[in-house]
Amino acid sequence: MASKDERDMDALAEKVERHGSIARAARQLGMSIYRAESLWAQICAGLGWQAA
């Protein structure tokens, strides 16, 4: 079972892919920009060199 963070990261990545904006994705998902940026940093860290 996926944790809340994992579910939120998946949802955030999907919204950013569609719109290209972390802030817009955060608003649509009803999360703070601080949480969205933190989750985005985790996504990028997990991708490593592929995120560049």
- Domain ranges in the chain are 4-51
Q: Would you state the pLDDT for residue 42?
A: 94
Q: Would you state the pLDDT for residue 2?
A: 73
Q: Would you state the pLDDT for residue 1?
A: 63
Tokens representing 33 are: 């920009």
The pLDDT tens digits of the residues spanning 1-52 come to 679 999 999 999 999 999 899 999 999 999 999 999 999 999 999 888 776 6
Q: Is the dihedral of CA 13, 17, 37, 45 positive or negative?
A: positive
Q: How far is 21 from 10, CA to CA, in rounded Å?
A: 15
Q: Would you state the pLDDT for residue 48?
A: 82
Count of other CB atoms within 10 angstroms of residue 42: 15
Q: Would you state the pLDDT for residue 52?
A: 62
